[in-house]
Amino acid sequence: MTAMILSWSVFLAQVMLALAMGCAVWRVAVGPRAQDRVLALDTFYVLAAMLLLVFGIRTGSVVYFEAALVIALLGFVATAALSKFLMRGEVIE
Amino acid sequence: MRRVLPFPWVSAALLLLWLLLVGSMGPGALLLGAALALVGGWLLAVLDPPRTRLRRPLAALRLAWVVLVEVFRSNNAVARLILAPRTRGRSSGFVRIPLDMRSPAGLAALACILTATPGTVWAEYDSARGIMLLHVLDLIDEAEWVRIIKDRYEARLMEIFE
Amino acid sequence: MTHAESLPAWAAILVSLLLLLGAGLGLVGAIGLLRLRNFYERIHAPTLGTTLGIGSILLASMLFFTVLQSRPVLHEVLIAVFMVLTTPVTLMLLARAALYRDRREGSAEVPRSTTGEG
């Protein structure tokens, strides 16, 4: 019974996160401005890290944690570089 | 002591992070972690960052608690705002807030606290005049926000960092 | 999910609640990304996911593996620390970039700079 509850809420959480990622992708596609796209991309990265953690719970494997860590790291670097680019038109001054 | 461990807290944090990442307390992990912590401290010493001391650890803990409560409260508030029907009159906007705090570490902490709390984003700081520009999602009364920031955060941060 | 059969009821329910809360906050934040009207309003939306959202999912993961493996599994704290440190930085960088771009275009929606640059 309790395993049922857990597997259903894991499934629901995955659906919600997938929908959220859909929203973020929509904002990346529509814009309207470059900063909106970068913001949506940053959100997408965080949601992806969350989804990987939920996958970890689903499969009972710790490997997904490392993937989530790497995604979070990449998201930060990418967003910082893109913001810098929006500001000055180049990444390294 | 100063030579070997120029930044003892940073080194301790590095060691702790390494042990968490490896997920074991074995001698190998401890040895590698200690090496990482030592080298990390030396590298930071080469960069020579301005030293700041936490004057009041207890006050810092109290501030952390205030921030945690505020994060919960504003998560709820912002989620409601997002899901509310559009007909409700709501205005977002920028507020200029004059700050008395000049300590860079304190200002950085304030910026991080305000930005991490849903509903407020630190946008700019004019260091010559000490005025910060804040964007607030649910802006009802500007004076109210100035008061909130000064009483809730700035006073406490000045107590800790200045 | 056969590996979760051995999980006690209280842990399963707590993990479920935390997961739903976290995913729900992430979804609300993403909806905010769609519904809010301009960039400066939208920049508030993802903070829901990056504070409590990922926080409760990390807590759920920590609780799940700690109870399942009967030993403390705490490495999720690393992601939490990382998120706490990086979220404000990215959002502030983005806000500043957006302000700079809007000012350069002479947009009336943003306040004028007091520092003279931009």
Q: Are B72 and B139 found together in one domain?
A: yes
Question: Does residue C117 surpass a pLDDT of 60?
Answer: no
pLDDT of A51 reads 93
Q: What is the pLDDT of residues B78-137, one digit of tens each?
A: 888 888 877 566 778 888 888 888 888 888 888 888 888 888 888 888 888 888 888 888
Contact C49 A46 (CB under 8 A): yes
Q: What mean pLDDT is reported for chain B?
A: 84
pLDDT of B50 reads 74
**Whole-angstrom distance, CA of residue C118 vs CA of residue C109:** 15
Q: Are B79 and B154 found together in one domain?
A: yes
**Whole-angstrom distance, CA of residue A46 vs CA of residue A20:** 11
- Residue B3 included in any domain: no
- Which range of residues forms the domain containing residue B26? 8-47
Q: Are B35 and B80 found together in one domain?
A: no
Question: Two tokens at B134?
Answer: 């804040």
Helices (H), C1-118: 9-35, 39-42, 46-48, 54-69, 76-104
Contact B94 C36 (CB under 8 A): no
Buried b (16+ CB within 10 A) or exposed e, C5-31: eebeeebbebbbebbbbbbbbbbbbbb
Q: Which residues of C touch B33 (CB under 8 A)?
A: none
Q: Are B91 and B20 found together in one domain?
A: no
Q: Give the three-state DSSP class for C10.
A: helix
A71 contacts A49 by C-beta, under 8 angstroms: yes
Q: Does C49 touch chain A (CB under 8 A)?
A: yes
Q: Which residues pair with B134 in a beta bridge?
A: B95, B122
ipTM of this complex > 0.95? no
Interface of C with A in 28-47 (CB under 8 A): 29-31, 33-34, 39, 42-43, 45-46
Q: Are B43 and B61 found together in one domain?
A: no
Buried b (16+ CB within 10 A) or exposed e, B107-116: bbbbbbbbbb
- Average pLDDT of the segment spanning B149-162: 83
Contact C90 A83 (CB under 8 A): yes
Domain boundaries, chain C: 10-104
Q: How many residue pairs bridge chain B and chain C with CB atoms within 8 Å of each other?
A: 97
Which of residues A71 and C8 earns the better pLDDT score? Answer: A71
Q: What is the pLDDT of residues C64-79, one digit of tens each?
A: 888 888 888 888 888 8
Contact C77 B72 (CB under 8 A): no
Pick from A69-78, A83-92, B43-52 the range whose average pLDDT is largest: A69-78
Q: Are B89 and B12 found together in one domain?
A: no
Q: What is the pLDDT of residues C85-98, one digit of tens each?
A: 888 899 988 988 88
